[in-house]
Structure 1
């Protein structure tokens, strides 16, 4: 298990890439945190698992826990057609790296001591298979996400934060109950498409993806907040008769390039990771 100092490494001079100025008045330059490099695939596996475990702790902190629902995955770097997933019987608030389960393409547990959700496998197996550009997916039954999902429509581009998802989210309209078969997982993957990072599952909730569990988790946090904003804006508009102002395409495209990249998604999550690391004293790394 990597020490905390190693986990917090990943600093490099990526200021232009991340949009930071990175220079002090006295001439000093600063670096912006970025995804680390690894000497071995074993090191990367450990990193992915530790950040996946942290994502569950963050979800618990935000109340994205309801019984045994919800799951986050990450592709294994050594066995790319396998992925790590949470077991069905561990609360997000207590989940540790050692609790994670490695699953093969047939849904069999390769490493781990507990069973997984059939729905989790059906969704994540097909998403990761259909999208080799992503390594992680996150789904939970969050309050505002599942409330907004009842409308079966995309978000409106009404705030700066909405633009993180400009032309990068979709709606899956074919709700057919709990996802127990891979055909449903295939249809969800098709709805997500080849470039989107989120899909609103009608009458169900939210699902986000990313190159890292950090990114997928951050997009989920952001999308849940935006669903709350959309619901509030819709209610306010209906009550007052005022019209919502939609941000124009030029500003939407520009802002999305500044705040909607995988690097920004990963970076945004690191403050949450640090918070969990400090408050838990690294308990989730075990």
Structure 2
């Protein structure tokens, strides 16, 4: 195991523990993967996160083979297929966070109730149709629901968030849970008003330059000499 792989394995273990600390996951539910080498690293099945070590993380190849005696997450198929289909994404976080899963049970997508939904890549967060966990059908449904998006719900199951790194994917999973919470609070009062397509297009454009970058790229902002 080289230094780069050890860093990614350690980051993955810490993110698994963080899911529980952040309240977006419980027990051994949920799983995380990250692109590495000729395949990806993925959390193992059935090992409590407080006992997880970098050595437990499973290195899988694109053909679904792996070495060693530790079994990968039962959801390895959708992790593999997302990373294969989306070269723009390097890490996948899956949780059963309470409010996002509640919306998924209802079979609803999360509409543009708040501009922060743009962090998931589009004006909505879609809900993939139900299929049994670990199945190829579920993987296919998820890849379709993620087209043009970085997050989706899974009917009667949970949520997926994917991004360029594990920290970014984990942060997005937290944002999706917040949006789902807001949506569920609105629903007893009726379907909430949403931002228009034009308003969301403006937000999505601004999100392309959101975060730390050169001040020269931001309109109206100048660095003092």
Alignment TM class, shorter chain as reference: 0.7 to 0.9
In structure 2, the CA distance between the partners of 1:65 and 1:163, relative to structure 1 (3 Å rule), is: closer
The separation in 1 between residues aligned to 2:16 and 2:206, in whole angstroms, is: 27
SS of residue paired to 2:126: strand
Q: Which residue of the partner structure matches residue 74 of structure 1?
A: 34
SS of residue paired to 2:133: coil
SS of residue paired to 2:33: strand
Q: Which residue of the partner structure matches residue 88 of structure 1?
A: 45
CA deviations over 1:213-272 (Å, ceiling 9, x no partner): 11111111110111111000112x24xxxx7332233432333344477x759xxxxxxx
**1:86, 1:101 within 8 Å by CA — same for their partners in 2?**
yes
SS of residue paired to 1:233: helix
Question: Superposed, which structure 2 residues align to 1:178-257 within 5 Å?
Answer: 178-179=133-134, 181-193=135-147, 195-235=148-188, 237-238=189-190, 244-257=192-205
1:137 aligns with 2:100: no
TM-score (norm 2): 0.80
The separation in 2 between residues aligned to 1:228 and 1:177, in whole angstroms, is: 25
**Aligned pairs, number:** 211
The separation in 1 between residues aligned to 2:24 and 2:51, in whole angstroms, is: 14
Q: Which runs of 5+ in 2 are unaligned?
A: 213-225
The separation in 1 between residues aligned to 2:123 and 2:4, in whole angstroms, is: 31
Superposition RMSD on alpha carbons, in Å?
2.6
Q: Which residue of the partner structure matches residue 273 of structure 1?
A: none
Q: Which runs of 5+ in 1 are unaligned?
A: 2-41, 266-286
Pairwise CA distance, 1:168: 6.0
The separation in 1 between residues aligned to 2:51 and 2:157, in whole angstroms, is: 25
